[in-house]
Amino acid sequence: QVQLVESGGGLVQAGGSLRLSCAASGLTFSSYTMGWFRQAPGKEREFVAAITRSGGSTSYVDSVKGRFTISRDNAKNTVYLQMNSLKPEDTAVYLCAATPHWRTAARSWGTGDIYYWGKGTLVTVSS
């Protein structure tokens, strides 16, 4: 059974930082592209970032470029999202995702690409 378990969310002031982690089990981690999506209250789930199987390439939505960094450790079956310079509009539930696919352009990513989802971790950024 595949499990993706997120951690690291919380309440932070604008301008602050958080580091999210997603621990994967039940799948061959190094065979999957890993990503992060987010869903704010009343809004659709949106793509945030993704990283290739080897970690050699990444993709980000424009709104987080230069502030967020996705990384992975295949030895630990874990993917990370370092979030800096957080803004109130970053407030959302952040969900870990696994897929065998890759999309270079952030606008090409959709929820239909995802094979496995985590349950999410809440990030709240206060102004």
Q: What is the DSSP letter of 97?
A: E
- pLDDT, residue 26, reads 97
pLDDT tens digits for range 54-105: 999 999 999 999 999 999 999 999 999 999 999 999 999 999 999 999 988 8
Contact predicate 5/117, CB 8 Å: no
Contact predicate 35/46, CB 8 Å: no
- pLDDT, residue 107, reads 86
Nearest to 45 by CA among 126, 114, 124: 114
pLDDT tens digits for range 6-41: 999 999 999 999 999 999 999 999 999 999 999 999
The length of the chain in residues reads 127
Q: What is the rounded end-to-end Cα distance, in angstroms, of the chain?
A: 40
Average per-residue pLDDT in the chain? 96
- pLDDT, residue 105, reads 84
Nearest to 47 by CA among 109, 118, 117: 109
- pLDDT, residue 98, reads 97
CB neighbours of residue 23 within 10 Å = 16
Nearest to 95 by CA among 109, 75, 74, 84: 109
